[in-house]
Amino acid sequence: MQTFGSPLEKVQLPGCDAPIFMKRDDLLHPIASGNKWRKLKYLIEDLREQGFQELATFGGAYSNHMIATACAGASLGIKTHCFVRGHEPMDSHYLGLAKMHGMNIIQVNRTDYKDKQGLFDAHFDAAKVYFVDEGGKSEKAWRGVSEIINEIELPAYSLVHASATGTTAKGLSLGIERSGKPIDLHSVAVLKNKEEQEAYLLNAMTTLHFNYTFDGYAKTTAELLDFCTEFTSNTGILIDPIYTGKALFALRDLRNAEAFDPKKPVVFLHTGGMLGVLSKSMMDKIVPPKN
Ligand SMILES: *Cc1c(COP(=O)(O)O)cnc(C)c1O
């Protein structure tokens, strides 16, 4: 499981004069989100050190964490299980891909899903199966994410990324603290969970932005989709409108509003999330670029 060494690439944003740098964590794995991969690194290490050969985790039917866990399990010979929230028809390509990577999917109703430890205890023996929380949320996940900072060799910069639970932001913040470098972190919320994220990131060194949720998780507008299409058609780098598209849109807006220190280059962390755009419902909304 390779969780290190993604390149830093100079790219041009539509509607922005100076180029930015993109930390290409989307290249860490062809389908698993880069930050999910980073979050799993030390969880998996701990699991193996303790001699476990199985793990169980939690997610929605469109969970990037579920996919990353399934992929990691398949490549390392670890049997994976995932409690999936809701009883909607299982037509998500995420679920198919998880199963293809050998993951055992256990669908549970939304009420039961709330008691994760209870679910785990009812199905598994904690001496045999390793518990991984939803989204990989844990201190070990912070540690994995913090390593991104060591890989960026610029002396000072502004760093922008998409934020949902705040785990990635927390890890980046820790990495920044440890590096001692003057790095300004900007975490762009992609869903409307202001209170939770603020509470989780209380002591983190980041500025949270809540003006770019586009009204909620996985909600999009024509303007956002056009921005994603224009960026991808200009650069050949795919972004998804659920996470990275919103955060990159925010980056352009904030930069044009001169919200970043002009003396520092701007780095965007591409966290991956390809499966979010690679669905028929999303693709049906894409229109070709105007130019
Ligand atoms: C999960 C995810 C995020 C958000 O990560 P958090 O640690 O939950 O804040 C960002 N980008 C992508 C592509 C993701 O899959």
Take residue 28 and report the two structure tokens written for it: 């860490």
36 lines ligand 1 (CB under 6 A): yes
What's residue 279's pLDDT?
Answer: 87
Residue of 26, 29, 33, 172 with the most ligand 1 atoms within 8 Å of its CB, for mutation: 33
Q: Where in the chain is the domain with CATH 3.40.50.1100?
A: 8-31+142-283, 36-136
Report the alpha-carbon distance of residue 116 to residue 137 in Å, rounded: 13
187 lines ligand 1 (CB under 6 A): no
Q: Which atom of ligand 1 is nearest to the CA of 164?
A: 9
Predicted model pTM: 0.96
164 lines ligand 1 (CB under 6 A): yes
What's residue 204's pLDDT?
Answer: 96
Low-confidence ranges of the chain (pLDDT < 50): none
Q: Which atom of ligand 1 is nearest to the CA of 171?
A: 7
Report the alpha-carbon distance of residue 149 to residue 146 in Å, rounded: 6
What's residue 86's pLDDT?
Answer: 87
163 lines ligand 1 (CB under 6 A): yes
CA of 32 to the centre of ligand 1 (A): 11
What's residue 233's pLDDT?
Answer: 96
In order of 140, 220, 227, 233, 250, the CA distances from 289 in angstroms are 42, 17, 9, 7, 20
The CATH number of the structural domain formed by 8-31+142-283 is: 3.40.50.1100
Query: How would you label 106-135 residue by residue, b for 16+ Cβ within 10 Å and e otherwise?
Result: eebeeeebeebeebbeeebeeeebbbbbbb
Instruction: Tell me which residue of 117, 48, 108, 53 sits closest to 83, measured CA to CA.
Output: 108
Count of beta carbons in the 10 Å neighbourhood of residue 179: 13
Take residue 58 and report the two structure tokens written for it: 């939690």
CATH class of the domain at 36-136: alpha beta
Q: Which atom of ligand 1 is nearest to the CA of 187?
A: 9
What's residue 290's pLDDT?
Answer: 77
268 lines ligand 1 (CB under 6 A): no
